[in-house]
Amino acid sequence: MSRPGSEPPASRTAWTMGTEVPRSYPLVHRGGLICPCVLVQANDEKHLVKNLLGSYAKAGVNGRPTSNSTDPTKVNITFGLIELREFDIENQEVVMVGWTALEWQDELLKWDPANTGTSNHISLDSQQIWIPDILLSNALSKPEPLHHTRVHVTYTGKVVWINTYKYHFYCKVPKDQMTSDTFDCHMKFVSWSMDSNTLDLRNKEDRFDTVYYVNNRDWEFFKNKAIREDVEMPWDMKSAQIKYEFTLKRRQTHEDNDDTESSAVRIRVVAFLPVTFACLLRLAALL
């Protein structure tokens, strides 16, 4: 095996462009011979994926991928807020962009890297394996995916699926609070077809993530927390639900104006300092 970073550009280009190089042909790099390990590893990974998906096709994507059907499938969910697009108080609607990460164990997606000669993880098309049906129950329209993502699978069978959506959901605003400055909203994620004894949905964190959040000019977020609860569904079934509660507080216009004016004053002062310093130097030279 060659050291990391020692593969020549030609080997990487040949593989990414889809040109097959026979394994019996060593690659030449500045007069030396190296092993085409990149191609070997890639071929091993393709063989692994083919075997895993072949076994999956026989079992089917319907039905949970577990070795014991009496045990619930544990699914961890994490929600991350990116942007608040709109809060329509009169129509009681919220539009925001956020990402969701789902984690679960798939017994059909396990392998031994030592025996297969592959890495510890692969990526697969989400449509080719079982996916938990976690939905936003208070959505007003179908969440709009911003891009197609693949699932990340480790050799232990752990699956992680991260998606970014534009959400459009309902936020109840009582009539007597229409002119208020603070509003309480929530998002409810739940399995639509499996009860809590079959799919155990849990929040990985006690609040939603705001690392990538872009501040909104009109609204601030407060009281962000996640709650797990079992809820009765209309069809006589109790499902696990994760509710993300948050409070929106209206930003005061005069505070924004004050901040803008303060910034302008600071800019003028900073711009004036070099001129003042230059004048003082000239004055000192004349004395």
**How high is the pLDDT of residue 141?**
97
Residues near 7 by Cβ (< 8 Å), separated by ≥ 6?
34, 37, 38
* Residues of the chain scoring pLDDT < 50: 1-40, 254, 256-257, 260-287
Three-state DSSP at 151 gives: strand
Q: What is the DSSP string of 22-34?
A: -TTSPEEETTEEE
What Rg do the C-alpha atoms of the chain give, in angstroms?
Answer: 28
The pLDDT value given to residue 13: 35
Q: Rounded CA gap, 216 and 233, in Å?
A: 35
pLDDT score for 43: 75
pLDDT on residue 71 = 92
The residues, any chain, with a CB within 8 Å of residue 167's CB and separated by 6 or more, are: 94, 95, 96, 97, 98, 136, 139, 143, 187
Who's near 103: CB < 8 A, 6+ residues apart? 75, 76, 77, 158, 159, 160, 161, 204
Predicted local confidence at residue 186, as pLDDT = 98
pTM of the predicted model, to two decimals?
0.73
Contact 202, 242 (CB under 8 A): yes
Phi, then psi, of 178 in degrees rounded to 5: -60, -30
Q: How far apart (Å, rounded) are the C-alpha atoms in residues 47 and 94?
A: 46
Residue 67 is predicted with a pLDDT of: 86
Sorted by where each begins, the domain ranges of the chain are 9-59, 73-251, 260-287
Q: Which contiguous run of DSSP H or E holds residue 154?
A: strand 151-154
What tokens were used for 286? 């004349």
- How far is residue 133's CA from residue 100's CA, in Å, rounded to a whole number? 13
Query: How far apart, in whole angstroms, are the C-alpha atoms of residue 27 and residue 17?
Result: 16
Fold exhibited by the domain 73-251: Acetylcholine Binding Protein; Chain: A, (2.70.170)
Output the pLDDT for position 18. 37
Give, for 12, the enclosing helix (H) or strand (E): helix 9-16
